[in-house]
């Protein structure tokens, strides 16, 4: 099978497109003929070694896959060959075939395209948890949304504007064309943070008043020094990513404003009723709402796809066509 092999941690030049043998499924596994693989920011962090260097080199990375079941293990009862499924696994999705534990795959609603399903399978669940499960956004609140045209940000924006109750969204992005996407989804204010200081811009918009009720920040980096200048006293600050780099945060700098700092990860929600509702909502959404189109790269351009995402040249969901 054709696969994107990563020779070592480091730059995208470490990818090689190779031919390797697929692995037959064990008793509790299924083999999937992969059609599309999803690209997430953690894929970039894994490649760089940011999440630890635990892999036996070389290896095939990739955490999300959509495809058709080819074979099932002897103890697998809930799946059969020919079914369309999506897999969430630690590695192996950037290949023509993926062998995965049956408990890490889910059936895809009939009529939903695989590349579109990858836009929502993780990102909409995360967005739902951010908005409802963790952020508990209330009617009329003003939201500062970092990376508003990114995979999760785009879902949050859609969720708030299609299902929200009179919430104002301040959308931040690095390119004007990305902000056009945010405007089309209903963002109330759009700021290119590469061209202007978003703190100064927000204060100018609101007569020097700190009006942000909740900041959804998947960036980290220097934004950890800036957000508190626009979040109102008693506001909330959700931190769920570090694409801008890891920086220390002085929590005592926020004590007089009593801003609630809320680190977030989807992982502790898995298996809870809140997570079940988020997954159920995602399935309802993909079968009833107008769906977005992902940006598609061929497997042979996996390095370019990661490089483009890493340097902010993409918007929305990135999928790899296998």
Q: Which residues pair with 173 in a beta bridge?
A: 192
Residue 273 lies in a domain: no
> Residue 249 is part of a domain; what is its CATH number?
3.40.50.720
Mean predicted lDDT score pLDDT of the chain: 94
Kindly report whether the peptide bond that precedes residue 105 is cis, defined as omega within 30 degrees of 0.
Answer: no
Tell me: do 71 and 88 sit in the same domain. Answer: yes
Report CA Rg, the chain: 20
Tell me: do 110 and 131 sit in the same domain. Answer: no
Residue 152 lies in a domain: yes
Pairing status of strand 168-173 against strand 142-145: parallel
Domain encompassing residue 229:
123-265
Region 170-174 average pLDDT: 96
Residue 148 lies in a domain: yes
Least confident window among 7-21, 164-178, 180-194, 250-264: 250-264
Task: Identify the pLDDT of residue 253.
Answer: 79
Residue 253 lies in a domain: yes
CA-to-CA separations, 15 to 47, 306, 311, in angstroms, rounded? 10, 10, 18
Place of tokens 């955490």: 63
Residue 143 lies in a domain: yes
Query: How many domains would you assign to the chain?
Result: 2
Residue 305, pLDDT above cutoff 80: yes
Residue 316, pLDDT above cutoff 90: no
* Nearest by Cα to 149 from 185, 99, 196: 185
Place of tokens 């995602």: 282
Give the containing element (helix H, strand E) for 295: strand 295-298
Tell me: do 162 and 202 sit in the same domain. Answer: yes
> Residue 22 is part of a domain; what is its CATH number?
3.90.180.10
Residue 297, pLDDT above cutoff 80: yes
> Which of 134-138, 239-243, 314-318 is the most confident on average?
134-138
Tell me: do 114 and 128 sit in the same domain. Answer: no
The pTM assigned to this predicted structure is 0.90
pLDDT by residue (tens digit) across 180-218?
999 999 999 999 999 999 999 999 999 999 999 999 999
């Amino acid at each position: 099978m054709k696969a994107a092999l990563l020779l070592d941690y480091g730059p995208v030049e470490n990818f090689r497109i190779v031919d390797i043998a697929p692995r037959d499924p064990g008793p509790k596994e299924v083999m999937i003929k992969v059609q599309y693989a999803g690209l997430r920011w953690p894929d970039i962090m894994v490649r760089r070694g940011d999440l630890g260097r635990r892999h036996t080199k070389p290896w095939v990375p990739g955490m999300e896959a959509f495809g058709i079941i080819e074979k099932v293990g002897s103890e697998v009862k809930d799946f059969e060959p020919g079914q369309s499924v999506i897999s969430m696994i630690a590695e192996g999705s950037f290949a023509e075939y993926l062998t995965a534990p049956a408990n890490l795959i889910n059936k895809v609603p009939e009529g939903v395209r695989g590349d579109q399903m990858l836009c929502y399978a993780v990102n909409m669940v995360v967005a739902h948890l951010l908005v409802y499960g963790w952020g508990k956004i209330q009617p009329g609140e003003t939201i500062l949304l970092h990376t508003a045209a990114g995979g999760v940000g785009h879902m949050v924006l859609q969720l708030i504007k299609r299902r929200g109750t009179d919430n104002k969204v301040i959308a931040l992005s690095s390119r004007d064309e990305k902000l056009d996407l945010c405007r089309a989804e209903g963002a109330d204010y759009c700021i290119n943070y590469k061209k202007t200081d978003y703190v100064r811009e927000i204060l100018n918009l609101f007569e020097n008043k700190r009006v942000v009720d909740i900041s959804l920040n998947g960036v980290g980096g220097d934004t950890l020094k800036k957000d508190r200048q626009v979040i109102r006293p008693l506001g909330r600050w959700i931190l769920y990513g570090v694409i801008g780099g890891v920086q220390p945060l002085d929590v005592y700098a926020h004590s007089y404003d009593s801003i609630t700092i809320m680190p977030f990860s989807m992982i502790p929600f898995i298996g809870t009723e809140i997570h079940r509702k988020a997954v159920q909502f995602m399935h309802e959404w993909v079968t009833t709402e107008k769906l977005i189109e992902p940006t598609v790269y061929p497997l042979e351009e996996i390095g370019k796809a990661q490089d483009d995402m890493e340097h902010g040249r993409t918007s929305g969901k990135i999928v790899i066509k296998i």
